[in-house]
C-alpha cells in the first residue's frame, strides 16, 4: 500500500526551476531517502508534501489525501522536522512540547505514550530553555514535538546536520523504533551512513529525479558525487616546528561545572588540527577562549604569539574564523563581501583590489563577482566564506563545522582549499562531525567530558585504540562520557 504518491510535480521560483516533473511513491511504513546536492529541490519537495507550498503543476497524495484539496486532513497526519529544527529557543523544553501539542489540537498527556521512549531521555531538563540545549538534545526535543500528535507520516529534512556521530546513531535508532509502529519516514541527509539506513532512495539533482533504487545501487551509480576520490596531502609548509597555538592546563568553569577541564596541547605552523568531540564535550567553549571571545578561569594559552588572557583583541586581528552559519552578507555581492571583510582587517584599497582578483580566479568566481551572495548555492557560499576568512593571510584560521549539510563532492572541493591554505603556512584548526574529514587532518584531539581523551594522527589513533576507522575511534571514546551531553 502506498503512503505517498507524487506525480509530475514542478515548482519554480522566478527563473529557478526547483523541481522539474518529479514522480515517486513511498510505501506505508517505508524509510525513504530524498538525497542530492544543495539546491537539488529536496526542501521544496518536503514543503509541498507538508502542504506548506503549492506546486506549479502535478499532483500528490499523502495517506490518500490530496495536497491541495485536503490540506487540513494532511496536516493532522504528518510530522515535519525542518533542517534547522523548529524549536522556540526562548521557551523551555516542556513549553515547546506543549506549544506543538496545542498547535495540533492535542495535549502532551494524550500523545505521551507515542513519544515516551524519546522524550524520557530529556524530560529531566524540561525546565531548561531550548536554546541552552546541546545539538543532540535539541534533536530529541524537535523529534518529540513532531511526533506528539501521533502522525502516520514523518518528514525529516536533514535532521542530524551539526550533530555528533554518536547522537546521529542514537537518532536513527529512534527512527527504527518508529518504523516498527508502521510510521512512514521520508528523510534527507548528507551523511552516507544514514543514506544506507533507508530502504530506498530517490536521488535529486537540479530539480530532477536522476534515479530511484536501493541506497547501495544509487551510491554506486553516482559515486562521483557521493564517493569522490580521496585527496592526497602532505604537510610541506616551512617552519613546521614553530608553535602557532600553545595551551597549558586551560580551565573554563561556570560555577561548579567545568566545561573545559585542564587541557594542554600545541599546534604547529601550517598544521591541519582536528578538534573533535561530542556535543557538550567542551569544544565550542575551548574555541571561544582561543579566538578571544571568552577568557579562561585558569591556565594559560597563546595564539599567534598573543596571550589569550590579556591580548585577546590582538588575537582577533591575527586570526581567521568561519562558523557553520558563515558570516557573509546575503544582500551584498561577492566582491562587496570581500571588500567589507578585508576593510575590517585593515587592508589597503590597493591590496584588496589585487587580492580580490586572485581569490576570484582561484575560486573560478570571476564572472560571479557582482552576483548577490544570497543567490549562490550553499557550496559556493561556503568556499567564499572560507576565502574571506583567510583573505588577510592570518596565522591561524578557526573553522567551526564549516561543511555541515553539504554533499561529499562539494566537501572534497572545500578541503582542497584547506590544503592549499595549509601549504601557504596558514594553520587550520577545524571542528567537524564528518569522520571522513577527520581522516584528512594531520593530527586530531578528541574531547570527552571537558578533557582531551586522545590525541595523535588519524593512523596513530586507529592503531592505539585498535579501531578500523575514525568513526569507530570517535564512537569508542565518546561512549565513555559520564556527564550528560547537555
User: pLDDT for 279-290, tens place per residue?
Assistant: 788 898 999 999
Strand ranges inside 333-431, DSSP E: 396-400, 427-431
HSE value, Cβ hemisphere, 13 Å, CA-based, for 449: 9
| The residue to which cell 555581492 is assigned | 333
pTM (whole model) above 0.85: no
Grid cell in block for residue 444: 586530531
pLDDT of amino acid 406: 80
- Tell me how far apart the alpha carbons of residues 39 and 402 are, in angstroms, rounded to a whole number: 18
| The residue to which cell 533542517 is assigned | 83
- Tell me how far apart the alpha carbons of residues 29 and 38 are, in angstroms, rounded to a whole number: 27
Segment 359-366 shows an average pLDDT of 88
Is pLDDT of 464 > 50? yes
306-307 and 298-303: which strand pairing? antiparallel
Segment 362-372 shows an average pLDDT of 89
User: pLDDT for 80-111, tens place per residue?
Assistant: 998 766 789 999 999 999 999 998 889 999 98
Strand ranges inside 77-149, DSSP E: 78-81
For residue 232, name the pLDDT band (cuts at 50, 70, 90): confident
- Tell me how far apart the alpha carbons of residues 30 and 163 are, in angstroms, rounded to a whole number: 24
Amino acid at each position: 500500500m502506498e503512503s505517498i504518491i507524487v506525480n509530475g510535480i514542478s515548482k519554480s521560483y522566478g527563473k529557478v526551476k526547483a523541481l522539474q516533473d518529479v514522480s515517486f511513491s513511498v510505501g506505508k511504513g517505508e524509510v525513504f531517502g530524498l538525497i542530492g546536492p544543495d539546491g537539488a529541490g529536496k526542501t521544496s519537495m518536503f514543503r509541498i508534501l507538508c502542504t506548506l507550498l503549492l506546486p506549479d503543476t502535478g499532483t500528490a497524495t499523502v495517506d490518500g489525501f490530496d495536497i491541495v484539496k485536503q490540506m487540513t486532513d494532511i496536516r493532522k497526519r504528518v510530522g515535519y522536522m525542518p533542517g534547522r529544527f523548529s524549536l522556540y529557543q526562548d521557551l523551555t523544553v516542556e513549553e515547546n512540547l506543549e506549544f506543538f501539542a496545542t498547535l495540533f489540537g492535542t495535549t502532551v498527556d494524550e500523545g505521551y505514550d507515542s513519544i515516551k521512549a524519546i522524550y524520557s531521555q530529556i524530560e529531566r531538563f524540561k525546565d531548561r530553555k531550548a536554546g541552552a540545549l546541546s545539538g543532540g538534545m535539541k534533536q530529541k526535543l524537535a523529534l518529540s514535538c513532531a511526533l506528539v500528535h501521533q502522525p502516520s507520516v514523518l518528514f525529516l529534512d536533514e535532521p542530524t546536520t551539526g550533530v555528533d556521530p554518536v547522537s546521529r546513531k542514537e537518532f536513527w535508532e529512534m527512527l527504527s523504533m518508529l518504523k516498527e509502529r508502521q510510521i512512514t519516514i521520508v528523510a534527507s541527509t548528507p551523511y552516507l551512513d544514514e543514506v544506507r539506513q533507508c530502504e530506498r532512495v530517490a536521488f535529486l539533482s537540479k530539480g530532477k529525479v536522476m534515479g530511484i533504487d536501493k541506497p547501495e545501487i544509487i551510491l554506486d551509480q553516482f559515486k562521483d558525487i557521493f564517493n569522490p576520490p580521496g585527496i592526497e596531502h602532505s604537510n610541506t609548509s616551512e617552519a613546521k616546528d614553530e608553535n602557532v597555538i600553545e595551551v597549558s592546563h586551560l580551565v573554563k568553569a561556570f560555577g561548579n561545572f567545568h566545561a573545559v577541564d585542564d587541557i594542554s596541547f600545541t599546534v604547529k605552523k601550517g598544521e591541519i588540527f582536528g578538534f573533535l568531540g561530542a556535543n557538550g564535550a567542551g569544544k565550542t567553549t575551548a574555541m571561544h577562549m582561543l579566538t578571544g571571545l571568552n577568557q579562561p578561569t585558569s591556565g594559560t594559552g597563546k595564539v599567534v604569539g598573543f596571550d589569550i588572557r590579556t591580548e585577546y583583541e590582538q588575537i582577533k586581528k591575527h586570526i581567521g574564523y568561519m562558523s557553520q552559519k558563515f558570516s557573509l552578507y546575503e544582500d551584498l555581492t561577492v566582491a562587496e563581501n570581500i571588500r567589507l571583510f578585508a576593510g575590517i582587517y585593515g587592508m589597503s584599497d590597493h591590496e584588496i583590489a589585487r587580492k580580490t582578483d586572485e581569490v576570484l580566479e582561484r575560486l573560478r568566481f570571476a564572472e560571479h563577482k557582482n552576483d548577490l551572495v544570497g543567490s549562490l548555492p550553499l557550496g559556493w557560499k561556503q568556499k567564499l566564506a572560507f576565502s574571506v576568512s583567510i583573505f588577510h593571510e592570518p596565522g591561524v584560521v578557526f573553522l567551526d563545522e564549516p561543511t555541515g549539510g553539504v554533499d561529499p563532492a562539494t566537501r572534497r572541493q572545500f578541503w582542497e582549499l584547506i590544503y592549499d591554505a595549509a601549504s601557504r603556512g596558514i594553520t587550520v584548526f577545524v571542528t567537524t562531525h564528518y569522520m571522513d574529514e577527520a581522516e584528512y587532518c594531520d593530527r586530531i584531539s578528541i574531547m570527552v567530558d571537558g578533557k582531551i581523551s586522545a590525541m595523535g594522527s588519524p593512523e596513530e589513533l586507529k592503531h592505539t585504540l585498535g579501531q578500523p576507522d575514525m568513526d569507530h575511534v570517535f564512537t569508542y571514546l565518546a561512549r565513555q562520557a559520564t556527564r550528560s551531553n547537555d
